[in-house]
Amino acid sequence: MYKVTSKLKIVAFALMIFGAVLTAVGFWQMPGSEEEVKEMLATEAAAHGGGHGAVEDNHSSAVDDHAVSGHATTSDHHSEGHATSHEDEHAEHVYHQLSNKPWAAVYVAAFFFFMIGLGTLAFHAVQKAAQAGWSPVLFRVMEGISSYILPGGIIMFVLLLLSGFHINHLFVWMEEGIDVVGHENYDAIVAGKVGYLNVPFWLFRAGAFLVGWNLYRWNIRKFGLKQDEAKDGDIAWYKKGFKHSAMFLVFFIVTESIMSWDWIMSFDPHWFSTLFGWYVFASMFVSGITTIALITIFLKSKGYLEFVNDSHIHDLAKFMFGVSIFWTYLWFSQFMLIWYSNIPEEVTYFVTRIEDYNILFFGMVAINFLFPLLILMNSDFKRVNWFVVTAGLFIILGHYLDIYVMVMPATVGESWFIGFPEIGAFLFFAGLFILYVFNTISKAPLLAKGDPYLGESKHFHY
Binding site for another protein (CB under 8 A): 332, 335-336, 339-340, 342, 377, 379
Whole-angstrom distance, CA of residue 454 vs CA of residue 440: 21
* Of 149 and 323, CB closest to another protein: 323
Nearest 5°: the CA angle 390, 392, 396 is 120
Q: Report the residue number, 61 or 379, with the smaller CB distance to another protein.
A: 379
Q: What is 419-454 written as a DSSP string?
A: -HHHHHHHHHHHHHHHHHHHHHHTTS-SS-TT-TTH
Q: Is 303 exposed, middle or buried (0-12, 13-18, 19+ CB in 10 A)?
A: exposed
CA angle 250, 252, 258 (to 5 degrees): 115
Residue 401 phi/psi, 5-degree rounding, is -65, -35
Query: Which residue's CB is nearer to another protein, number 307 or number 339?
Result: 339
Beta carbon of residue 379, minimum distance to another protein (angstroms, whole number): 7
For another protein, the closer of residues 193 and 318 by Cβ is 318
Residue 262 CB, nearest distance to another protein (Å)? 29
Q: From the CB of 124, what's the least distance to another protein, in Å? A: 30
CA 114-116-117 angle, 5° bins: 65
Q: Which is nearer to another protein, 375 or 427 (CB)?
A: 375
User: CA-to-CA distance for 333 and 324, rounded, in angstroms?
Assistant: 14
Comparing CB distances to another protein, the nearer of 333 and 439 is 333
Least gap, CB of 339 to another protein (angstroms): 5
| Ramachandran quadrant class, 197 (left: phi over 0; alpha: psi -120 to 50; beta: rest) | beta
Q: How far is the CB of 66 from another protein (least distance, A)?
A: 35
Least Å distance between CB 333 and another protein?
Answer: 10
- Alpha-carbon distance of 102 to 149, in angstroms, equals 23
CA distance 255 to 257: 5
Q: Which among 253, 385, 388 has a CA at the least distance from the CA of 320?
A: 388
The smaller minimum CB distance to another protein, of residues 12 and 338, is found at 338
Beta carbon of residue 284, minimum distance to another protein (angstroms, whole number):
25
State which amino acid sits at residue 326: F
Q: How far is the CB of 322 from another protein (least distance, A)?
A: 15
322-325 long-range contacts, CB within 8 A, separation 24+:
323/282, 323/285, 323/286, 323/289, 324/286, 324/368, 324/369, 324/372, 324/373, 324/376, 324/395, 325/369, 325/372, 325/373
Minimum gap (Å) between residue 378 Cβ and another protein = 8
d(C-alpha 83, C-alpha 78), whole Å: 9
Give dist(CA 232, CA 317) in Å, integer: 33
Using the minimum distance from each CB to another protein, give the nearer residue, 108 or 317: 317
The whole-angstrom separation of Cα 108 and Cα 421 is 11
Residue type for position 337: L
Give the shortest CB-336-to-another protein separation in angstroms: 4
Q: How far is the CB of 383 from another protein (least distance, A)?
A: 14
Cβ proximity to another protein, 260 vs 334, nearer residue: 334
Helix ranges, 357-412 (H): 358-376, 385-411
* Residue 266 or 334 with smaller CB distance to another protein: 334
